[in-house]
C-alpha cells in the first residue's frame, strides 16, 4: 500500500468573528474536525487534543489534513492491564511534530477507537526508527512503568547497522548527552549534558557495516545515535550524526541506505505481563543481505546478552 499523500499545511489567525473554539475555526478553514483526533491540528506549537478547546484572538491554528489513501492500520502487539504495545514503522514520528500532524500515537489511537490524548508513550522512537513502542492507557500503568524504569526492570533491545571501528567489541558507552548547536539535535558532552548509558555488543563486521546489539539504560533524546557516532561507528543512514547515506557491497555496487538503520526489537518489563517483540523489518534485512551479511545474525543480535 502506498504512503498517504499529505495536503499542504493550512494556517489561520483567529479573528473576532471566527468563534470561540478550535472546532469553530476549523469550520471556517473548511477542515474536518476529525483531523484533531488524527493529531493533525495545532494551536501555535501545541497539538490540539479536543476540538472543543478554546482559542483566543490572535492565535494561529494550523491543520495538515490527510488526503488520499491512508496509512495501513498499525500492528498492535498486545493490550493488557492498561498498556498497549504496537509496532512503529519507520517514517512516522511517535508523537506529532510542529511541521506535520501525522503521528504513530494517532494511528494507534484510531485503531483502538480512543482519542490520542488517552495514550501516553513510555518511550519515543525517532521518525526514521522502527520498532516496539509501549503506551500507557491510565495513571496506574504509567506509574507501574515509571517504577519499572527506576528499578531497572524495564529492558529494551535495539539492533543497528553502523560503519566504523569500535575500540572494543562489547562494552558500555557513557558519554553524557546534551544539546547541540542546532536545538533539534544532541551532542555527546553537549550543553547541559545529562548522564547517559548504553550497553552494546558487536555481532558481525562486514566490509562496510557493523551489526550491533544495543541496550540503552537511560533514555536521552537520540541517545543510541549520539553514542554510536561518538564511539566512531555512526549508524547507517543517520546523516545528522555522520552516518553514510550510501555504502558499498562486496561486489562494488553502491547501496542506498533507506533510513536510519535502527530498530527496537523488543521491550520486556520484569515482574509484569508486558513483553513485546517485533521482527526485523524487511528494509533493514535486505540492506544487511545486500552487504553480504548473514541473515541468521539478526537472531543472535536480539537474543545475546548485552553487555
| 174 part of the active site | no
Q: What pLDDT shows up at residue 98? A: 57
Q: What pLDDT shows up at residue 1? A: 36
Q: What pLDDT shows up at residue 2? A: 40
The strand ranges marked E within 145-299 are 154-162, 170-173, 177-179, 186-188, 191-194, 198-205, 210-216, 246-248, 254-256, 262-269, 275-277
Task: Quickly tell me which residue has 504513530 as its cell.
Answer: 104
Q: What pLDDT shows up at residue 123? A: 87
* Of 136, 42, 153, 9, residue with least CA distance to 82: 136
Q: Out of 24, 107, 126, 238, pick the active-site residue.
A: 126
Cα(193)–Cα(298) distance, rounded to whole angstroms? Answer: 33
- 107 φ, ψ to 5°? -60, -45
Note the pLDDT tens digit of each residue in 167-177.
Answer: 999 999 999 99
Average pLDDT, the chain: 91
Range with the lowest mean pLDDT among 39-53, 81-95, 212-226, 266-280? 39-53
Mapped onto helix, strand or coil, the DSSP state of residue 2 is coil
Q: If you ran DSSP here, which 8-state letter would residue 117 be given?
A: G
Task: With beta carbons less than 8 A apart as the criterion, state whether 77 and 88 touch.
Answer: no
> Where residue 52 falls among pLDDT bands split at 50, 70, 90?
confident
Note the pLDDT tens digit of each residue in 126-150.
Answer: 999 999 999 999 999 999 999 999 9
Domains and CATH numbers, the chain: 5-67 (3.10.290.10), 75-136 (3.30.70), 154-303 (3.30.2350.10)
Res. 4: pLDDT tops 50:
no
Q: What pLDDT shows up at residue 70? A: 60
Longest dimension (CA), the chain: 66
Res. 213: pLDDT tops 70:
yes
Note the pLDDT tens digit of each residue in 19-48.
Answer: 999 999 999 998 888 788 777 889 998 888
Q: What pLDDT shows up at residue 99? A: 52
Task: Quickly tell me which residue has 550543553 as its cell.
Answer: 191
Res. 67: pLDDT tops 70:
no
Q: What pLDDT shows up at residue 290? A: 94
Note the pLDDT tens digit of each residue in 5-22.
Answer: 445 789 999 999 999 999
Vertex 50, ends 78 and 5: CA angle to 5°? 70
- Please report, rounded to a whole number, the percentage of residues in the chain having pLDDT higher than 70: 94
- For 95, the grid coordinates are 508523537
Q: If you ran DSSP here, which 8-state letter would residue 270 be given?
A: T
Does the pTM surpass 0.75? The reply is: yes
Q: Which helix (H) or strand (E) holds 81?
A: none
- Please report, rounded to a whole number, the percentage of residues in the chain having pLDDT higher than 90: 77
Cα(139)–Cα(204) distance, rounded to whole angstroms? Answer: 42
Note the pLDDT tens digit of each residue in 199-212.
Answer: 999 999 998 899 99
What is the arithmetic mean of pLDDT over 92-108?
Answer: 80
Amino acid at each position: 500500500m502506498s504512503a498517504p499523500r499529505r495536503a499542504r499545511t493550512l494556517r489561520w489567525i483567529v479573528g473576532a468573528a471566527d468563534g470561540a473554539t478550535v472546532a469553530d475555526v476549523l469550520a471556517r478553514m473548511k477542515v474536518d474536525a476529525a483531523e484533531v483526533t488524527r493529531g493533525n491540528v495545532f494551536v501555535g506549537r501545541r497539538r490540539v487534543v479536543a476540538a472543543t478547546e478554546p482559542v483566543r484572538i490572535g492565535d494561529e491554528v494550523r491543520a495538515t489534513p490527510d488526503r488520499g489513501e491512508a496509512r495501513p492500520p498499525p500492528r498492535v502487539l498486545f493490550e493488557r492491564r492498561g498498556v498497549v504495545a504496537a509496532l512503529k514503522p519507520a517514517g512516522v514520528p511517535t508523537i506529532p511534530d510542529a511541521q506535520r500532524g501525522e503521528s504513530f500515537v494517532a494511528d494507534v489511537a484510531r485503531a483502538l477507537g480512543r482519542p490520542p490524548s488517552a495514550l501516553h508513550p513510555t518511550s519515543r522512537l525517532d521518525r526514521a526508527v522502527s520498532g516496539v513502542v509501549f503506551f500507557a492507557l491510565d495513571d496506574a500503568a504509567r506509574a507501574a512503568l515509571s517504577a519499572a524504569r527506576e528499578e531497572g526492570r524495564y529492558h529494551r533491545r535495539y539492533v543497528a547497522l553502523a560503519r566504523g571501528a569500535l575500540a572494543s567489541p562489547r562494552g558500555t558507552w557513557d558519554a553524557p548527552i546534551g544539546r547541540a548547536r542546532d536545538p533539534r539535535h544532541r551532542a555527546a558532552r553537549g550543553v547541559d549534558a545529562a548522564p547517559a548509558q548504553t550497553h552494546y555488543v558487536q555481532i558481525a563486521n562486514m566490509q562496510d557495516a557493523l551489526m550491533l546489539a544495543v541496550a540503552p539504560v537511560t533514555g536521552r533524546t537520540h541517545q543510541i545515535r549520539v553514542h554510536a557516532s561518538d564511539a566512531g561507528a555512526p549508524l547507517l543512514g543517520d546523516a545528522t550524526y555522520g552516518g553514510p547515506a550510501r555504502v558499498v557491497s562486496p561486489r562494488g555496487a553502491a547501496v542506498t541506505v533507506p533510513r536510519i538503520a535502527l530498530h527496537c526489537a523488543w521491550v520486556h518489563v520484569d515482574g509484569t505481563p508486558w513483553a513485546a517483540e517485533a521482527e526485523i523489518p524487511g528494509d533493514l534485512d535486505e540492506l544487511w543481505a545486500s552487504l553480504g551479511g548473514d541473515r541468521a545474525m539478526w537472531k543472535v543480535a536480539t537474543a545475546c546478552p548485552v553487555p
